[in-house]
Structure 1
Amino acid sequence: MKVNYNSNPKDSKSYDTSRLREEYLTDSMFIEDEIVSVYSHIDRIVVLGVSPTTSSLTLEDHIDSATFGVDYFLQRREFGVVNVGGRAQVKTATGTYTINHLDGLYLGMGTQELEFSSLDADCPALLYCISAPAHHTYPSRVVKREETNLIQLGDSTNANERVIRQYLHPDILPTCQLSMGVTSLSESSVWNTMPAHTHERRMEAYFYFDIKPQQVVFHFMGEPTETRHVVLRNHQMILSPSWSIHSGCGTQNYSFIWGMLGENQTFDDMDFVDMDAIK
């Protein structure tokens, strides 16, 4: 398990490219027949990439629960999944869930014996997962892509026409603090989340996908008056502390999964940055 520590914005100002990537970026969230796991001290988020092919993967075989001081991983945590690959099956001690491409899944606190498998080895599942500390058990359920909240934002004039699908959101289902969704940019649009914002009450993680070969996304981060950029490629994830902006511009259109943990789940609780103030 990769461990990331929290950082002070005053220190982050001095980071060079290598240090920025070391502190915030995970180069690849998917390794065949492995579970990639990242634990960050920023709100104690755990991000996982699960890539089963011909055999299933059991969560407890890849994560040592003793690291978290519990008997099993989700004893005091909740769990969200979005599938960016082929059809998948997720088994638990109390139920079995089938999730298609771009379907989501929520597993409540107390869920045990997680096992992940692909239903077609020629088109394996790619399960992007986020886990957050929890205080209450809410019902587990699949969230179909067509069941998500659909929000259309931006326009072609500003090259930021995009569709947001809210999966784990109070209007869809209750969670303790975890929110997840997918943003997809229209053809010829390249900007996301600009004008930029921060939200002091929530951190965020971005996972970029549908980035075509030989294309990249320039992800912008840092305090509004001390911005930095990190170049991201397909299936890479970057953490965003609550004090940092989180915006991107691609060489072509792309998609990303956003996941948030923190004090509230209000989608528009943002501290917007005036375009004249950003540096």
Structure 2
Amino acid sequence: MDVRYSTNPAEARGYDTAQLRRHYLVENVFVPGELRLTYSHEDRVVLGGAMPGAGPLRLEPDDALRTDHFCERRELAAFCVGGRGAVNCDGNAYPVERGDLVYVGRGTREVSFHSDDGSARFYLASAPAHRELPTTLVKAGDVTPIELGATESANARTIRRYIDGTLVQSCQLMMGWTQLAPGSVWNTMPAHTHLRRTECYFYFDLDEDARLVHILGEPDETRHLIVRNEQAVISPAWSVHSGAATGSYSFIWFMAGENYRFDDMDHIAMADLR
């Protein structure tokens, strides 16, 4: 497990490109036949990817957690980015395909990931949990799409909120899928922060030669990361999180922290961005 320590805005103002990427960018989310995780001290979230081949991949405990099993004190969400497979939780198999999600409740001892044909990819997000809630399968068709933005402002998009206390009740983890419409490239602009929560973005559905510019940092001292397909960004609570790409794309967002309110956002006026 890759461990990332917390950062503060005063430090981040002096980071060069390599330091920004080392602290905030997760480059290799999916590796064939492997399960890879990144542990961030920002609200102690964990993100990663599982790409099982012919055999299953088991979610093992790690010394960074110092627990007997991964979900002993954590909740977990597994989102199927592509392919067909299953998430197995304590002997119960939850079949999934692209767009389906499995919420795994605290206390689940055995979690493994299976692929029907070797192409399944599972994006993983986890946060500490204070109570046990039921493991739940959410099919893509169960989630009501919300249409936002406009083509004229290059931000027409569809948002699906999988974990926000409606379809799935979690302890603190919130998670959803945003898809940009063809011809739209901007996400989360005008920008916002939420000092009570860490948020992570996982970008996918980008063409192989496409690139995305992810904006981060304090509103008056922004920086950027160049991101390619199937990479993730850790956004500390003090940082904006926005982006634009050379073509349309999708991203998975998840949040964890102090409260459980999707609309807890401190909006930044365009005139105040620097």
Paired residue for 1:21? 21
Aligned equivalent of 2:105, options 92, 108, 133: 108
Superposition deviation, residue 265 in structure 1:
2.5
Distance (whole Å) between structure 1 residues aligned to residue 77 and residue 273 of structure 2: 33
Paired residue for 1:140? 135
Paired residue for 2:260? 265
Paired residue for 2:172? 177
Paired residue for 1:98? 95
Paired residue for 1:205? 200
Superposed, 1:46-61 pairs within 5 Å as 46-60=46-60
Superposition deviation, residue 69 in structure 1:
2.1
Distance (whole Å) between structure 1 residues aligned to residue 177 and residue 168 of structure 2: 16
Q: How many residues align?
A: 274
The one-letter code sitting in structure 2 at the alignment partner of 1:261 is A
Paired residue for 1:76? 73
SS in 2 for 1:81: strand
Contact 2:86-2:94 within 8 A present in 1 as well: yes
Contact 2:89-2:104 within 8 A present in 1 as well: no
Distance (whole Å) between structure 1 residues aligned to residue 246 and residue 13 of structure 2: 26
SS in 1 for 2:30: coil
Distance (whole Å) between structure 2 residues aligned to residue 48 and residue 252 of structure 1: 24
Contact 1:83-1:100 within 8 A present in 2 as well: yes
Distance (whole Å) between structure 1 residues aligned to residue 208 and residue 67 of structure 2: 41
SS in 2 for 1:174: coil
Aligned identity (percent) is 46
Paired residue for 2:117? 120
1:193 aligns with 2:193: no
Distance (whole Å) between structure 2 residues aligned to residue 224 and residue 171 of structure 1: 32
Distance (whole Å) between structure 2 residues aligned to residue 232 and residue 119 of structure 1: 29
Runs of 4+ in 1 over 4 A off after TM superposition: none
- Cα deviation per residue 1:2-29 (whole Å; 9 max; x = unaligned)? 1100001011001111110011011120
Superposition deviation, residue 94 in structure 1:
4.5
Superposition deviation, residue 59 in structure 1:
1.1
Distance (whole Å) between structure 1 residues aligned to residue 24 and residue 142 of structure 2: 32
Superposition deviation, residue 192 in structure 1:
0.3
Distance (whole Å) between structure 2 residues aligned to residue 221 and residue 68 of structure 1: 28
Distance (whole Å) between structure 1 residues aligned to residue 171 and residue 160 of structure 2: 19
Contact 2:214-2:227 within 8 A present in 1 as well: yes
- Cα deviation per residue 1:148-197 (whole Å; 9 max; x = unaligned)? 13211100110000000111111111100001111010000000000000
- Cα deviation per residue 1:27-48 (whole Å; 9 max; x = unaligned)? 1200000011100000000112
Where structure 2 has 5 or more consecutive residues not aligned to the other structure, the ranges are: none
Contact 1:149-1:172 within 8 A present in 2 as well: no
Where structure 1 has 5 or more consecutive residues not aligned to the other structure, the ranges are: none
Distance (whole Å) between structure 2 residues aligned to residue 245 and residue 115 of structure 1: 34
Paired residue for 1:252? 247
Using the TM superposition, name which of 263-272 and 21-30 deviates more.
Answer: 263-272
The one-letter code sitting in structure 2 at the alignment partner of 1:128 is Y
The one-letter code sitting in structure 2 at the alignment partner of 1:29 is V
